Amino acid sequence: MSTISLPTPAELSITPRDRRFGRQSATPRLWHGGRVEATAIYNALSTTFPRGEAFFVESVRAFRDGTPAKLAEEIAAFTTQEAIHSREHDAFNRRAADAGYELGKLEAQVEKRLAITKGKPPIVSLAATMALEHFTAILAHQLLADPRHLDGAEPESAELWRWHAAEEIEHKGVAYDTWIHATLHWSRWKRWKVKAKVMLFITRNFVVDRTAGALELMRQDGVTGVRAWRLLLAYLWLRPGMFRKIAGAWLKFFLPGFHPWNEDDRHLLRAYDANGTAEEPKRRVRRAV
């Protein structure tokens, strides 16, 4: 079987940081600076993680046998990190429920999306995981690089999101490298065509579902109609504009030679491990393979 040289840093160490958040006190209902739209979109994102990250683990582990030793080690560390993420977001979601939010509708939509891959070959689940892991990695990069995204948030909740973002960056190449290993017998054209179609499908569902989920949670806070749309779209696309700011990184996924580690953002990890925050320095790009 042929091999492909990948730009994942050889010295990269994926290190699970087993932390617990928010166990000592209740989380305020509008924990994100008292802002209904900011609280809603992060709560909507969090509802995807317990089941979604279990899906990621299952999808990647299905292809672990026969991988190079380093990748096998990274899959094991990825599995541990994702399991802890699921645990912490499950606890976060319970606190949101305790604050009065009904999350059942959002969680049912997650299950509906994940069920699409049932009965399909395992490579379909891996392709979905590879695309979603890129999505989470670019969101994580932006979250650590620009402190405005968590400005005013309740400290313990903000720290949960920064911790999660750091580990998403750290293991951002694992699903992609597993995908490359699993499709070595494919032509480059077939690999690109499949991953592009999957990413477009994933992106549509992600944007539609997270927007709808946030609007539902805003409705539960009494904010509906034009006002809800105006607040949410301004927050996501204008200021601080998370969705707008990840657009360029999202588009890079479709370029020939793309790999998550073409963007070496380990400086954000070092800054997080030093003090729990990070800021955006000059862009550094590794050569694509």
In Å, what is the CA distance from 148 to each residue of 44, 126, 151, 153?
A: 19, 33, 5, 10
How confident is the model over 127-142, as a mean pLDDT? Answer: 97
Residue 187 has pLDDT above 70, yes or no: yes
Q: Residue 251 is encoded by which pair of tokens?
A: 């588009």
Tell me: domain 36-275, CATH 1.10.760, correct? no
The predicted structure's pLDDT at residue 144: 97
Q: pLDDT band for position 279 (50/70/90)?
A: very low
Q: pLDDT band for position 288 (50/70/90)?
A: very low
Residue 55, CA atoms < 13 Å, CB-side half-sphere: 25
Task: Judge whether 243 and 207 are in contact, CB under 8 Å.
Answer: yes
DSSP string, 40-85: HHHHHHHHHHHHHHHHHHHHHHTT-TT--HHHHHHHHHHHHHHHHH
Q: pLDDT band for position 7 (50/70/90)?
A: confident
The predicted-structure confidence for 107-117, as pLDDT tens digits, reads as follows 999 999 999 99
The predicted structure's pLDDT at residue 183: 96
How confident is the model over 264-282, as a mean pLDDT? Answer: 75
pTM: 0.92
**Which phi and psi (to 5°) does residue 241 adopt?**
75, 45
The predicted structure's pLDDT at residue 3: 56
The predicted structure's pLDDT at residue 198: 97
How confident is the model over 139-145, as a mean pLDDT? Answer: 97
The predicted-structure confidence for 9-55, as pLDDT tens digits, reads as follows 988 999 999 999 998 888 999 999 999 999 999 999 999 999 999 99
Handedness of CA 148, 152, 157, 163 (dihedral sign): positive
What ranges do the domains of the chain cover?
36-275
